[in-house]
Every structure is written in structure tokens, then in C-alpha cells.
A = this chain, B = another copy of it.
């Protein structure tokens, strides 16, 4: 039980190079939370008391626009963290998060202890800052993408960024999330995604069956990703 928390925390990039005693304080301030698909972890606007590391399953971070439509900011998998920024700022959560898989487990790291250690240990400050900068760069990339890239280009980039392995006919990869979720993350509709895949399929660029996709001509996708 507590071992699971300990293992997750020790594996986080944020906490590399910290003393044993400090790590144990963090472990003591944390707890394992298990949620089912659709269950909320944090609510936009609520005062924040912790940040989270995903241990199993998947989590999506999203905002709800005034008119009720939701925009997914990130899909997170095991080993990834969220809401550090809110904790450091000691404010309210700027977005909501919920599990998208049954049996999702996250480690909840208490804000108070964390902030205390942040003030004591210089290394933590540096590593946390690096982590925040990583988020910044990812977001900058998304802003650029959303404003200049077409739906096809965004999808091409997404596919090319997935882990793939060599196969007879080309690069073989698996969608780690459902197509609906992929569409959400790329800010397109599932219909558009489906049509785009079919166009590439008909053009002999990919071979697609269910969540398994083989890139027959990755160079063509690279061209699409670069274009428009």
C-alpha cells in the first residue's frame, strides 16, 4: 500500500536527487487514490490542497468553457504529474481532471509538506522549475499547432510522435487511447479524424485496423505534418 506510494514518488523526475529523509516526508504526506472512469480528481476553481502523479490508468485534464463545451488540455498516463503549478501558486485549480479508465490510481501529494520542502531544498526548486518549463514548452507547441496547423497536420504529428516499432510493411503503432479521445486532444471531431484516416488508407499511406495503425509511407505523413 504505502509501498506503492513510495515507489511512485521515488520514480518521479521531480524528486530525483533528494535525501532519503526528505523523500520519506513526502511519502508520509501522500496517499493513494483509486477512482473509476469518469470520477473527478480535481475541480476547476476549487482551492488546491495537493498535486497528483498518475500511477495506473489514465487521466484527462480539461476546462469547461462558459457555453458548456469542454476542451481537453492533456491526456496523462502513468508516471506523469499534474497540478504542480496550482500548488506552487497556492491558488485554485485552473482546470479539472478526471479518470478516463476504470481502476485508475493516482498518488496525491499534500501541498503543505511539499511547499515546506520546496523552501528548504534548493535542488527541489531547480527540478520543479525545469518541470514547469517543460509544461510551458508543451503548451507553446500546442498554441502554435492549434493556430497554424490543419486537422490533418495535427493528426499526422500525433501519429508520428507515438512510439512505433518496425514491421514488414512499415512503422506499426497502437493508439494508446480511443479515437474519440485522440480527437478531443487534437481539438477536432471524431468524424473528421475518421475521414482523415480513411483518406490516408485509401491513398495507401497507412493501413488501419481498429487501434492498430501501420504507417506504410511515413514520409508522406511527415510532409503533411510540415505543411499547412
- Chain A 135-164, CB-CB to B under 8 Å as 1, else 0, gives 111011011101111000000000000000
Q: Chain B's nearest CB lies how many Å from the CB of A19?
A: 17
**Interface locus among A6-14, A28-36, A64-72:** A64-72
Q: Is the CB of A144 within 8 A of B63?
A: yes
How many residues on chain A are close to B (CB under 8 Å)?
A: 41
- Chain A 98-111, CB-CB to B under 8 Å as 1, else 0, gives 00000000000000
CA distance A66 to B139 in the complex (A): 18
Q: Is the CB of A71 within 8 A of B129?
A: no
- Asked whether A226 is an interface residue with its Cβ less than 8 Å from the other chain, the reply is yes
Q: Is the CB of B146 within 8 A of A67?
A: no
- Asked whether A167 is an interface residue with its Cβ less than 8 Å from the other chain, the reply is no
Beyond A73-B143, A129-B132, 5 additional contacts (C-beta under 8 Å) are A71-B148, A85-B136, A125-B125, A132-B132, A139-B139
**9 A-B pairs with the lowest CB-CB distances in the bound complex, closest first:** A147-B187, A139-B139, A66-B226, A125-B125, A146-B146, A89-B133, A85-B133, A132-B132, A88-B129
